[in-house]
Structure 1
Amino acid sequence: MANSKGARRRFGSVRQLPSGRWQIRYPDPLTGLLRTGEQTYATKTDAEIALTLIEADITRNQWVDPDSGKTNFAVFADAWFRDRKLEERTRERYEGVIRLHIRPQLGGLTLSEITPARVRSWRTVLLAEGVGEPTVVKAYQLLRAIMNTAVDDELIQRNPCRIKGADRYDVPERPTLTIQEVYAVAGAIQPQWRALILLAAFTTLRFGEFAALRRRDVDLEARVLWVRRNQAELSSGKLIEKAPKSRAGFRPVAFPVDIVPDLEHHLTMHASKKDDGPFFVGPRGGRLRRSNFGDDWADACKAAKVTVDAHFHDLRHTGNTLASQNGASTRELMIRMGHSTPRAALIYQHMTSDRDRVIADRMGEAVRKALGKEDPPEPSGTPVARPE
């Protein structure tokens, strides 16, 4: 039996246990019932200090029920995931990160058991097991978001994800292709993809934006293509077409006059004949997918003797670099690339298409100089390459 010792306190009480350690009791601010402290203390002074701190937290409305943290993390994470409004591709990606990299180590713990030390250990194990740093960063960001909600719900007092720098990583500098290499790849690839290579280098659209591009979105007379949607591909192979994430994603992008003949040829020979049909059609007349384009890209880079390990997305980097070298400001680059930030969207509302065409013209001049051409090609006389 415990022995009660010490004078009565104004708030709570302390008592010494047969073990010699000290225990605290205090009125639960929610129920008014006495509750026993979660831990014991080596001295009476330590116990009294703990009571004083609890009283102060209650007075400041900062007290958190210690039992709240006993919620199982996996159960809470499932509820967090279920309650979020997410796009299908994002939901699939988050589900995979939780299942593969968070739940195995942390799923059996309670929220209060996930301490900063456990988070550090969890992250160290992932890196030691060879999980790529970008994936570890995404897992850490997702865990932090889940635990932020636990803080908001007053289930824990502080977010245990407090590792400095763990939420970012240094992206390796991607290579850029020279103009000669761009044209070499365009010349070596299957003819139906030549226009795709040139447009990727000189408009810097994303692959999904090209896959969702319609014939009517390409205006050869104005030398502008309109980005109105984006195609995403799930791991199951399901294709999803969606609107850009922000207003900045809806944008016109000008292209140099030098590639107009290539686009005219593409419209005649390879694009859908329907005005609302895809501008780029898959090998068998279906949708353009990464899986039915990747091998052709790799083979073309090899045939063109491209010395760097270039991905298709590096054409976007190439075009951004080329535009920057030819006078585009940072704000103009953000708009051409469709950066989905409020600032970029605001700038987009004020940018004129005339200025964008100047950028495209300068890119065209650089193309002709690199290829040893003096004059731009003569227009074919076709005002807009569209079906009757």
Structure 2
Amino acid sequence: MAARKPQRRREFGTVRKLASGRWQARYLGPDGQRHKAPETFETRSDAQDWLNLVRADIERSAWSDPDAGAVNFEKYALRWMEERGLAPTTVDRYNALLSLHILPTFGGKDLDEIAPPSIRTWRAERLNATGATTVAKSYRLLKAILQTAVDDDLLRSNPCRIKGAGKEEADERPTATVDQVFDLADAMGPRWRLMVLLGAFASLRPEELAELRRHSVDIDECSLRVTHASPELTNGRRVTGDPKSRAGKRTVYLPDFMQPELRRHLRWFAEKEPDGLLFVGEKGAPFRRSTFGRKWRRARTKVGVPENFRFYDLRHTGNNLAADTGAKMKDLMVRAGQSSERAQLIYQHSTAKHQRKLAQDIDAEVRQQLKEADGGRQQALEA
């Protein structure tokens, strides 16, 4: 009986010689579509070697459509935003990062045209043009979008591979002295005086201040109930919703010296309805960042605090002042409306008794610092 000849393995794909003398490789993919190599080859064996690599990928289920990444990055990024169900403020922030820092470089490219070298070049150029914090935020957003493209099988791997590029090194923010806080409040004028004092001595965020209502104030308790926030988008529109974190809904007990400030503001400047806004402009319009910003810059110049001292730094000032009283971390976090999953497990909760005690300690600390400064304003508080 004649021996059976070993079967020859069927050739995978085809190669052909082009008019240029180079060789082209083509194959039928698992998707039923015909694909060709992204480049031509100098020899027939080089083309065949490439086909063998593709065949190996298919056999170990590692093949991906080489044309899958031929999707415009800008269109994909905008669809990525739409599918996320993001908060309006997050959409606003991401749109700014995309339009100013990402799309000018990558908007016209397909996903598979974005490679690690182009990411490195882009990041280096951005660092020369803007702040490191903004570049880190832009990099994180770009990486997140491209990672979704990997998950969607449009890319084999994420080209964002720079270690530590998405980490922000937060600058140490400036703080004001207690005396400077009162000077800023004086310089802002009677209508906005309370906003400055609450920004510092209640550690409230600007978007929380914008949504305070008359019914948020408990004069007898000398406290505020924070239940909502109203951040302002870049188009000037405010979007009302929950505070920044779950811990943002809180009762903030105020130093005793704030009680007459609250009474005065409610009498003269807050809207009269129970749910009326605490802070409105001279013509009754809601608090606007642009209008307030002009007044703030003038007050800052008049008082002589650094130009980089932002209104938000009043919150940092207040947090430091509260920490100087020796309060426990959990009490400080509750007062400031700060939270993290880990912190919630560790600190659990702070009682109203602790929060009242912290407010009393802040009151004493403020009075002591004013007394050491010149005594004049301290006498006014006691009057």
TM-score bucket (shorter structure)? 0.7 to 0.9
> Separation in 2 of the partners of 1:154 and 1:76?
13
Preserved CA contact (<8 Å) 2:13 2:28 = no
The question of whether the paired residues in 1 share the 8 Å contact of 2:14 and 2:26 is answered with yes
Checking the alignment, whether the CA contact within 8 Å between 1:181 and 1:304 is kept in structure 2 is yes
User: Any idea what SS the aligned residue of 2:279 has?
Assistant: coil
Structure 2 CA distance for aligned equivalents of residues 291 and 210 of structure 1: 15
Q: CA deviation at 1:57?
A: 3.6
Deviation of 1:349 (Å): 5.7
Match of 2:3 in 1: none
User: Following superposition of structure 1 onto structure 2, how do residues 85-234 of structure 1 map, counting pairs within 5 Å?
Assistant: 85-128=85-128, 130-234=129-233
1:77 and 1:308 mapped to 2: Cα distance? 36
Kindly tell me the number of residue pairs found equivalent between the two proteins: 371
Contact 2:133 2:169 in 1 (8 A): no
The alignment's TM-score, normalised by the length of structure 2, stands at 0.85
Aligned-residue offset at 1:344: 4.7
Aligned to 2:72: 72
Q: Is the 8 A contact 1:175 1:308 kept in 2?
A: no
* Structure-2 residue corresponding to 1:291: 290
Contact map agreement 1:175 1:310 (CA 8 A) in 2: yes
Q: 1:121 to 1:221 in 2, by over 3 A?
A: same
- Structure 1 CA distance for aligned equivalents of residues 299 and 75 of structure 2: 49
Cα distance in 2 for residues equivalent to 1:174 and 1:10: 69
Letter in 2 for 1:201: A
> Matched residue of 1:242: which SS?
coil
SS at match of 2:239: strand
SS at match of 2:304: coil
The 1-side partners of 2:22 and 2:174 are apart by 65
Please give the secondary structure, in 2, of the residue aligned with 1:236: coil
Range with greater deviation from structure 2 (200-209 or 43-52)? 43-52
Q: Describe the superposition over 1:90-112 as per-residue Cα deviations: whole angstroms up to 9, x where unpaired.
A: 22332233233322222222111
Q: Secondary structure at the match of 1:315?
A: helix
CA distance in 1, matches of 2:347, 2:265: 29
Pairwise CA distance, 1:66: 0.6
What residue ranges of structure 2 are gaps of 5+ in the alignment?
Answer: 1-6
Larger CA deviation: 145-154 vs 189-198: 189-198
Aligned partners of 2:74 and 2:325: how far apart in 1? 52
Say if 1:41 and 1:325 are closer, same or farther in 2 by CA, change over 3 A: farther
Q: Distance in 1 between matches of 2:195 and 2:117?
A: 49
Residue 159 (structure 1) shift: 0.9
Contact persistence 2:127–2:135 (CA under 8 A): yes
Deviation, 1:184, is: 2.1
TM-score (norm 1): 0.84
Deviation of the 1:22 alpha carbon: 6.4
Instruction: State the shift of 1:17 in Å.
Output: 4.5
What displacement does 1:252 show?
1.5
Return the offset for 1:85.
1.4
User: What is the match of residue 4 of structure 1?
Assistant: none
Matches within 5 A, 1:34-53: 35-40=35-40, 50=50, 53=53
Q: Is the 8 A contact 1:227 1:250 kept in 2?
A: yes
Structure 1 portions without partners, runs of 5+: 1-6, 381-388
How large is the Cα RMSD of the aligned pairs?
Answer: 3.1
1:214 Cα offset (Å): 0.7
